[in-house]
Amino acid sequence: MQRRTFAGLLAVASLMLQSCATLGEGGASRLGLIQQRQTLRCGISGKIPGFSFLNADGSYSGLDVDLCKAFAAALIGDAQAIEYRPLTAPERFTALRTGEIDLLSRNTTFNLSRDAAGGNGVSFAPVMFHDGQGLMVKASSGIQTLEDLRGQSICVGSGTTTEQNLNDAFESRGIAYQPIKYQDLNQVLAGYLQGRCAAMTSDRSQLAAARSGFADAKQHKILDAVLSKEPLAPLSVGGDQRLADAMRWVVYALITAEELGITQANVRDKLAEAKAQPQLTHLRRLLGVAGRPGEKLGLPNDFVVHTIEATGHYGEIYDRHLGPTSAVPIPRGMNQLYRDGGAMTAPPFQ
Amino acid sequence: MKRSTKRVALQAAVVLLLLTLLGVLVNNLAVNLIRTGLGLSFQWLSRPAGFALAEASLPYKPSDPYAWALLVGWLNSLKVIGAGLVTATLLGVLAGAARRSINPLLRGLAALYVGLVRQIPLLLQLLFWYFVALLGLPQQNPSPFGSLLSFTNQSIAVLGVHLSVEFTAVLLGLSVFTGASIAEVVRGGLDAVPRGQWEAFRSLGLNEGMGLRRVVLPQALPAILPGLSSQYLNLAKNSTLAIAVGYADLYAVSDTTITQTGRAIEGFLLLLGSFLLLNLLINGGMQLLNKAIIQRGQRS
């Protein structure tokens, strides 16, 4: 039996076995369970360099992984208290719904049908990475536009919005194509590299990450056409407001810290500064010296201090994994702070 | 008399217990689904699927409903399972018979095939057939036979029939893998026929092939069939691995459907139902065959 059939069966079985009492307590948040357990079960992909990837020593690293650490630091006070669960695209929502994981930090596109109660019914935290879907072709193929792909086969991962976007883009232009669907990105890559398809499609960040691993990276070209907006955001199960709020403000804390120049290295100094100088109101609220932000969220008041100590601010996380000197350089573009011309901004910690 | 009443009562109690348990489980499933805001619903089946499929036995376009997409996927599954049953049987019977051949080369080859193939997981074999063997073919491969016989990493043409490399990989993988298990079943069946029968047809001057077909196999069949049907059921179930090599079978279509609709429970229920139906059909067919053969055996 396959792993995913098994996951599905497990979902049915666990829903069957869950006694009515456990769900019936009304409003019991998973946040309490995580704090009681003192471990965060974080769902990740585990296969995308720069976002979540297995290192040689068996640990995971990447932007999505750092976000797990930020959550663990804020919720539990220990950035290492994480059980990572690598999940394929179709597995992820089932794992979340059945409670196998607490939250998902796995390049998941924020859209209506996933957010709505009538769809997947999950709660999205703010966008951590603005991405867009693209196409990669062999430079020697001479393919420039979508029209050049008429009648060709395109390798795509199944069970993702990628597949739908591809279809929307080609259908709306009346271009016929043949989708070759694989289960995960590595197979899509293998199919493309072996020449089964003229092009492969995925989020542009993933294409860039994949290309960075090719021996002949220069022989492959990412087309200019962008097929979709792909705002990638972490998420938790729907209907759990306390956990969703906590996650939302951890992400906002990472962004606000960058705005205020609070880094992993200087956060303790900044804390001392905030304590000494009552006029630094923004800083005092963010670091929990004033306004008791944590208490309202069910977190320690200094959760932002723990978070920044663990991972640094958003810009630091980005540079560590996707910056110009990293293994997977992706220009920051839309992911810059709003004041620098990007889309990243956060509401006030008031 | 008294003992039999007791036995009936006991059995009734067990049945009642099982039914209650099942009832509680189903009720809990329904209650929890409603609590999580996910009451079972199949309305999405009539909404447009919005995804394309690489191959379809019936006319299909992305604006067709999910139900139609799933049907097309089911037919794709049937296609590869049906073809797989035939080729795996041929391969298995040949290899099984070869293991009892008087020709040492044939015996050795068959033993090597069974030994090798049964030790390697099916998924790895599928990936091998697809990514190494088939995608390793050249993109353009001018064939002297035209479309009668040509191999490229885009499609395989045999006698003018074009097969996608994905279909071919699944077919090869399932046939070769199941063929090895069937070979063992056949060998077991042949061994169940008394040695004297072999000696008898040889002393009658029948050649090996004729003796096997006319004398040994008919007697071995009742021993072969039960094992054979379970191999058939395995083949049908293993066909869900097709998704690993990009073949648009029922499982692959369900996979996309579930992600797009968020209806995981319903999707899996349909999937379970479809495979149950398919395997009941295979099982029923095999039982009929079994009955026919046993009756024939009793007549003669």
Task: Say what the pLDDT of residue A217 is.
Answer: 82
Q: What tokens does A26 get?
A: 């009304």
Cβ of residue B252 closer than 8 Å to a chain A Cβ: yes
Q: Do B244 and A177 touch (CB under 8 A)?
A: no
Residue B73 burial (CB count, 10 A): 27
User: Looking up tokens 């899509």, which residue turns up?
Assistant: A188
- The count of other CB atoms within 10 Å of the CB of residue A10 is 15
Select from B21, B132, B61, B24 the least CA-distant residue to A179.
B61
Q: Which amino acid is at A116?
A: A
Helix, strand, coil percentages for chain A (3-state, nearest 5): 45, 15, 40
Q: pLDDT value at position A118? A: 78
B154, B166, B262: residue with CB nearest A119: B262
Report if residue B163 sits inside a domain.
yes
Residue B50 inside a domain? The answer is no
Measured distance CA(B276)–CA(A109) in Å, rounded:
34
In a domain, B7, yes or no: no
Q: How far apart are CA A184 and CA A44, in angstroms?
A: 14
Alpha carbon distances (Å) from B263 to A18, B16, B32, B201: 19, 32, 15, 61
Give me the torsion for CA of B91, B93, B99, B105, rounded to 10°: -50
Q: Which candidate, B155, B159, B137, B139, places its Cα nearest to that of B147?
A: B159
The structural domain count of chain B equals 1
Domains parsed from chain A with CATH numbers:
28-128+233-262+312-341 (3.40.190.10), 132-230 (3.40.190.10)
Domain assignment present for residue B26? The answer is no
Burial bucket for residue B17 (CB in 10 Å: 0-12, 13-18, 19+):
exposed
Closest CA to B265 of A69, A12, A57, A248: A12
pLDDT confidence band for A8 (50 / 70 / 90): low
Contact A159 B256 (CB under 8 A): yes
pLDDT digits over A294-325, tens only?
999 999 999 999 999 999 999 999 999 998 88
Whether residues A94 and B252 touch (CB distance < 8 A) is answered with no
B8 within some domain? no
| CB–CB contact B246 A180 (8 Å) | yes
pLDDT digits (tens, 9 = 90+) for A250-270: 999 999 999 999 999 999 999
Instruction: Give me the pLDDT at residue B141, please.
Output: 74
Gyration radius (Cα) of chain B, Å: 24
Query: What DSSP element (H or E) covers A220?
Result: strand A220-222
Token pair belonging to A100: 């196998």
Tens digits of residue pLDDT in A56-103 = 999 999 999 999 999 999 999 999 999 999 998 888 988 998 899 999
Q: Flag if B38 and A194 touch (Cβ within 8 Å).
A: no
For tokens 């072969």, what's the residue? Answer: B224
Helix or strand holding residue B258 (H, E): helix B250-261
CA atoms within 13 A on the CB side of A218: 0
Q: Which two tokens stand for residue B291?
A: 């009955």
pLDDT at residue A21, rounded to an integer: 37
Determine the residue of chain A that is closest to B32 in CA distance.
Answer: A15
CA–CA separation, B235 vs B243, rounded Å?
A: 15
- To the nearest whole angstrom, how far is the Cα of B175 from the nearest Cα of chain A? 18
Report the share of chain A in percent with pLDDT over 70.
92
- How much of chain A exceeds pLDDT 90, in percent? 61
The number of helices, as runs of H, and strands, as runs of E, in chain A is: 15, 14
In a domain, B218, yes or no: yes
Which residues of chain B register pLDDT less than 70? 1, 35-39, 297-300
What tokens appear for A242 in the block?
């306390």
Q: What residue has token string 């990989």?
A: B169
Instruction: Tokens for B187, please give them.
Output: 């060998």
Res A22 pLDDT > 60? no
Q: What is the pLDDT of residue A10?
A: 55
CB within 8 Å of chain A, chain B residues 44-83:
50-54, 62
- Of A4, A16, A164, which is closest to B29 when you measure between CB atoms? A16
Q: Assign A2 a pLDDT band (cuts: 50, 70, 90).
A: very low
Residue with tokens 């097929």, as numbered in its chain? A227
pLDDT band of residue A28 (cuts 50, 70, 90) is confident
pLDDT tens figures, A117-136: 877 889 999 999 998 899 99
Cα dihedral B175→B180→B186→B188 (10° resolution): -160
Query: From the candidates B34, B263, B268, B279, which should be mutated to test the interface with A, based on the most A CB atoms within 10 A?
Result: B268
Q: Are B63 and B237 in contact (CB under 8 A)?
A: no
Q: Is the dihedral of CA A77, A80, A82, A84 positive or negative?
A: positive
> Domain containing B193: what range?
58-299
Distance CA(A140)–CA(A142), nearest Å, equals 6
Q: Cα separations (Å) of A102 from A63, A105, B4?
A: 18, 10, 54
Q: Are A282 and A161 in contact (CB under 8 A)?
A: no
In a domain, B34, yes or no: no
What does the mean pLDDT of chain A come to? Answer: 88
Q: What is the pLDDT of residue A25?
A: 39
Strand partners, A42: A84, A103
Chain A and chain B share a number of CB contacts under 8 A equal to 137
Element (H, E) at B223: helix B217-238
Provide the strand spans (E) within chain B: 149-151, 155-158, 161-164
End-to-end CA distance of chain A: 52
Q: Domain holding B146: CATH number?
A: 1.10.3720.10
Dihedral, CA of residue A77, residue A80, residue A81 and residue A86, to nearest 10: 130
Look up residue B160 and give its amino acid: G
Is residue B252 within 8 Å of A2, Cβ to Cβ? Answer: no
Residues of A in contact with B26 (CB under 8 A): 16
pLDDT at B37: 62
Between strands A220-222 and A129-138, the pairing is: antiparallel
Residue B98 lies in a domain: yes
